[in-house]
Amino acid sequence: MGVSNLDVVVRRFSLGDESVILEILSNAFGSLQDAQQPRSIMASRFFDSNACFIAEEDGSPVGCVALTGLPRERWYVVRFLAVKPSRSKVQVAEKLLGKILEHLGSRRPEFVRATTPAVQPYVDVYKQSGFRPVRRDFRITWDLKDSYAVPNIQIVMRPVLEETAKEAASIFVRSLASHWDWRTAEQGGTKAVEESFVEGVRKGEQWMVGQSDGHDVGIVGIIPDFYRHGEARFRGAYVLPENRDRGIGMELMSEISRLAIEKGQGKMTVFTFSYLDCLTPGALLYLRSGGKIDAEYLQLERVRKKIPSVN
């Protein structure tokens, strides 16, 4: 069945459609879909109701897609492409993505990325529309009842407070190089990332800076009870470039696990990226420290230009 023959109407998002999108995503992806993330995105300043579309068949919602902004002007992410199971799933997905690309044309984009669970037919639908895979994302979860060995490294942890958040933000930004340079660019540069970090601390994110021999070596953080009571969002463990390959990452993992347990957390979960052909050091660290991959996603890019300096 061709797209033109589908008895499907694509309309714009309207007030109250948040629950419709959550239902479609859950129906399409099941446990692969993190319900908390769509809620946060739809409540953020980067969500534009005019750039979100719902597909309906016989008046019933069957699919959705959205174009959301990034902190950099004219940089966008296509997300929420999902269709309820049906014989015409591929055609509905193609129609929704075509609608987004048509809408995108008027915005003169400089950069467009897409994100999707790594399942068909969505990966192929994106590829056929000119997107190409660039990174994998993993959802990794720790059962904090499990234990694991860590190296015996002398490391001192100090909590990040509101009054020390700016200093910690600088450590965080420096620790992102070089594996996360692409994300720093998407977020609008180092200053924007630092400001976002400080705001996160104000809202309750709990970070600790690790020190060895009186020098900062890395930073690690969580948000307790983020998903539900006793289930934390792990914000990641980041080691400064000059201190990598010393086993410090494992010590940071040990310390954040202890903090999570002290806060009454039974699980913690992180979303982290990796390369297409191999795992990043961060992903390897999380797996070595007892985390388990329970979902995989794909990042794709449609417009690839040289990213300007963001420092």
pLDDT in tens, 282-309: 999 999 999 999 999 999 999 554 444 4
Q: Is the pLDDT of residue 6 over 70?
A: no
Residue 179 — pLDDT band, cuts 50, 70, 90?
Answer: confident
Rounded to two decimals, what is the model's pTM? 0.89
Residue 308 DSSP SS3: coil
Q: By three-state DSSP, how is residue 138 classified?
A: strand
Q: Where are the beta strands (DSSP E) in 146-214?
A: 156-159, 206-212
Beta strand 231-239 pairing with 60-69: unpaired
> Does 141-296 carry CATH code 3.40.630.30?
yes
CATH topology assigned to domain 3-130? Aminopeptidase (3.40.630)
pLDDT digits over 10-22, tens only? 999 999 999 999 9
Residue ranges per domain, the chain? 3-130, 141-296
Average pLDDT, the chain: 92
- Does the pLDDT value for residue 111 go beyond 60? yes
Identical fold, 3-130 and 141-296: yes
Region 55-69: mean pLDDT is 95
Prior bond of 121 cis (ω within 30°): yes
